[in-house]
Amino acid sequence: MPLSTTRTRLALFALALGGFGIGLTEFVAMGLLPNLAADLLPGLWAQSHELANAKAGWLISAYALGVVVGAPTIAALAARFPRKQLLLACLGVFVLGTIASALLPSFETVLAARFITALPHGAYFGIAALVAASLMGPGKRGRGVALVLSGLTIANVIGVPAITFLGQQAGWRIAYLVVAAVFALTFVAVMLVVPFQLGDASATMKRELRAFTRPQVWLALLIGSLGFGGFFAVYTYVSPLATNVTGLDVSLVPFVLVAAGLGMTIGNFFGGRGADHSIMGTLFVCFGLFAISLAGLALTGQTPVGLFIFVFMVGGSAAALSPAIQTRLMDVAGDSQTLAAAINHSALNIGNSLGAWLGGVTIAAGLGYLSPAWVGLLLCAPGVALALVSVAMQRGPARRSSDLEVESASLEVQPAADDARV
């Protein structure tokens, strides 16, 4: 029996609410990094704020590594199971993991909780996208996927700045409990309004993992990791950058996050439109804009105008990479589509972990809070190089195929010419 329009809209809203919660739990640590460092690493904080902030960045890396591990594992193992039950299981882990993050006493235990919380991240987005596509019906798949991802982008515009402000006023642990409440609300909403759907009965772990035998899949993953590595090198330390280098009051940090979130939302929209016309062309343009934005931030981030303009541009150019990489993965993954939908988030969070770590290394070395922008700029070069390799590999088989067609046509014409001479 078809769902009513109201039930369909409520189901899509419930799925998007999960994306909103994931955006909160993934990104709120960036705005509250000094608060986390001061509370969980008091001895190191008293010794050096920079060293404490750099080590607190491990919490962001731990979450990113959890996404990297969980996305392909859950997607490969669980593709056959009913989708609603999988969504509820993912949300249950988010609720419990976020509560644990808020209540555990030590840096090491919170670090472990962040890793566990992240495990269902990619699987949730992959499964929710499939459910949304089926709810929207034929010809509206893209809109359904966009609705799910809209929760993530809205989180960066509204949710993360709001939760950052709450954490600054009431403490970071209260902020995380509010995020856990968002996940609990999503759990109830999905349970009540999302219809039951069977999984992919033909899916096997072997079939899904076959994607990893394709070189183009690995190239797409590496391109995404390097691109978002540059973004997270900057975004992880945007709070201390704004206060310690630009000289803004801590109350203005949420507005810096709003600028980044607006850039990400707009960039995601234009990146998707660009990918419809030319995936690789979009990647090259976005990497160029990304490099310009990072250099601009590194050179002008000590001024409020430079900070706001180039944080917006860094967020926009980085986010524009995401739909192009997602589309590229789906194109080159063959019949491993469930895995392709999930491992895009693995690629982005490899970049998250890599960027947070490298940015922390340069800060701990005494190079300052603008140094991560130069780290991001350096990561652009191999990203562009790998994109060029991917294009060259794609053109190779196409050129050989064209040569074979020409040769075949030549052989067909040759007998006719011989007959004419006779």
Q: What is the predicted pLDDT for the residue at 261?
A: 84
User: What's the chain's Rg over C-alpha atoms?
Assistant: 23
Name the residue with higher pLDDT: 167 or 77: 167
Residue 300 pLDDT greater than 90, yes or no: yes
Q: What is the predicted pLDDT for the residue at 142?
A: 52
* pLDDT average, residue stretch 29-52: 88
Domain spans in the chain, listed from the N-terminal domain onward: 5-409
Q: What is the predicted pLDDT for the residue at 410?
A: 47
* pLDDT average, residue stretch 400-421: 47
pLDDT tens for 152-204 read 778 878 888 889 889 988 999 999 999 999 999 999 999 998 888 776 666 66
Rounded percentage of the chain residues whose pLDDT exceeds 70: 88
Q: What is the predicted pLDDT for the residue at 397?
A: 55
Q: How confident is the model at residue 420 (pLDDT cuts 50, 70, 90)?
A: very low
Q: How confident is the model at residue 326 (pLDDT cuts 50, 70, 90)?
A: confident
pLDDT tens for 267-292 read 877 887 777 778 788 888 888 999 99
Q: How confident is the model at residue 2 (pLDDT cuts 50, 70, 90)?
A: low
Q: How confident is the model at residue 218 (pLDDT cuts 50, 70, 90)?
A: confident
pLDDT tens for 350-359 read 887 788 888 8
Q: What is the predicted pLDDT for the residue at 137?
A: 67
The CATH architecture of the domain made up of 5-409 is Up-down Bundle (1.20)
pLDDT tens for 365-402 read 889 999 999 998 888 888 888 888 888 887 755 455 44
Q: What is the predicted pLDDT for the residue at 145?
A: 63
pLDDT tens for 4-38 read 778 878 888 899 899 999 989 888 887 788 899 99
Q: What is the predicted pLDDT for the residue at 402?
A: 42
Q: What is the predicted pLDDT for the residue at 204?
A: 67
Q: How confident is the model at residue 237 (pLDDT cuts 50, 70, 90)?
A: confident
Rounded percentage of the chain residues whose pLDDT exceeds 90: 27
Q: What is the predicted pLDDT for the residue at 172?
A: 92
Q: What is the mean pLDDT of the chain?
A: 82
pLDDT tens for 97-146 read 999 999 999 999 999 999 999 999 888 887 887 788 778 766 555 556 66
pTM (two decimals):
0.71
**Which stretch, 4-8, 60-64, 346-350, has highest mean pLDDT?**
60-64
